Amino acid sequence: MEAAHKLQGLRDLWSLIRGLQITGDALFRRTVTVHYPRREVGNLASFRGPIKLVPRPKEPLKPKCIACLLCMQTCPSGCITVVRRKAPKLAAEQAQPAAAAGDEKVKKPAAPKEPERFLYDYSLCSLCGLCAEVCPVQSICFSSDVYMVSQRREEFRMDLLAKLQEQAGAAKGSGEKTV
């Protein structure tokens, strides 16, 4: 019993040396951290950044959005505000009330189903993705703009429509496809 006790004592002291071995070994191995900004992580594509609008394939300046307002209603944080584009004022014909029709297509010059402004408050967004899931035309997707920083709150309240048009305009100018 005494011998077992002493053996346990020696094993206990040896455990201290083993611990030192592990940290000593770690000391001489390479670091595992990604040294930003010299290097960046490689899996940003799947990480959710602020949402952005998906452009129409044939008209890169316009989003697929049909201003159904489902995203606005579904967002738990209330960070999306969509302002529908009003029907164009017809000078010659009789002025129709500027109510965008429901789901049915109207042949008469009614309000076009597109947003005039798509306001997004990133400071309220919880990146849950419900807006993207519920959009019937898949007009919302996540960007990879994860390094967005600012010193002013206003920069986190964006107009995604304006952003899309900026990017599309810039892409057109440089002749490349926008991400």
Partner 1 sequence: MLKIIFTEDFIRIILAAVSVMAFVGANGLVLVYMERKLAGHIQRRPGPYEVGWHGLLQPFADAGKLVGKQLLMPDGADALLYWLAPLVSFLWVLVLFIPIPFSPALTAYDMDLGLVLILAFAGINLLALCMAGWGSNNKWSLLGAARAVAQSVAYEIPLLLAVLAVAFASGSLNLSTVVQYQGVWPWQWNVIIQPLAFVVYFICAVAETNRAPFDLPEAESELTAGFHTEYSGMAFGLFFLAEYANMIVVCALATALFLGGWKGPLSSGVWWFLAKMYLLLFVMIWIRWTYPRVRFDQLLNINWKWLLPISLANLMATALFVKIF
Partner 2 sequence: MHYDLNREQISGDVYTSRFAQGQSEDTLILNMGPQHPSTHGVLRVILELDGEYILRAEPVLGYLHRMHEAMAENRTYLQYMPNMGRVDYVHALGWNWAYVGAVERLGGIEVPRRAEFIRVITCELNRIASHLLWWGTYLLDLGAFTPIMYAFEDRERILDILQSVSGSRLTYSFYRPGGVAFDLTDDFLAEVRSFIPHLRKRLPMYRVLVTDNIIFRHRCEKVGELPLEMCRRYGATGPVLRGSGLAHDVRRAEPYGVYPELAFEIPSEATCDAMGRYLVRMAELEQCLNILEQALAEIPAGEHLVKGAPRPRWKAPAGETYFATEGARGKIGVHLVSDGSATPYRCKLRSPSFSNLSLFAELATGILLSDAVSILGSLDLVIPEIDR
19 binds partner 1 (CB under 8 A): yes
CB of 4 to partner 1, least distance (A): 19
Read off the tokens for 91.
């000078």
Comparing C-alpha atoms, which of 104, 106, 110, 103 is closest to residue 89? 110
Distance between CA atoms of residues 126 and 118, nearest Å: 17
Binding partner 2 (rule: CB under 8 A), the pick from 6, 24, 26, 179 is 26
Q: Name the residue nearer to partner 1 (CB basis): 32 or 45.
A: 32
26 binds partner 1 (CB under 8 A): yes
Residue whose structure tokens are 């898949």: 138
3 binds partner 1 (CB under 8 A): no
Rounded to the nearest 5 degrees, what angle is found at the Cα of 58, between the Cα atoms of 75 and 102? Answer: 45
- CB 61, CB 165: distance < 8 Å: yes
Interface with partner 1 (CB under 8 A), residue total 15
Q: Name the residue nearer to partner 1 (CB basis): 23 or 174.
A: 23
24 binds partner 2 (CB under 8 A): no
- CB 49, CB 143: distance < 8 Å: yes
Interface with partner 2 (CB under 8 A), residue total 28
8 binds partner 1 (CB under 8 A): no
Which residues make up the interface to partner 1 (CB under 8 A)?
16, 19-20, 22-24, 26-33, 35
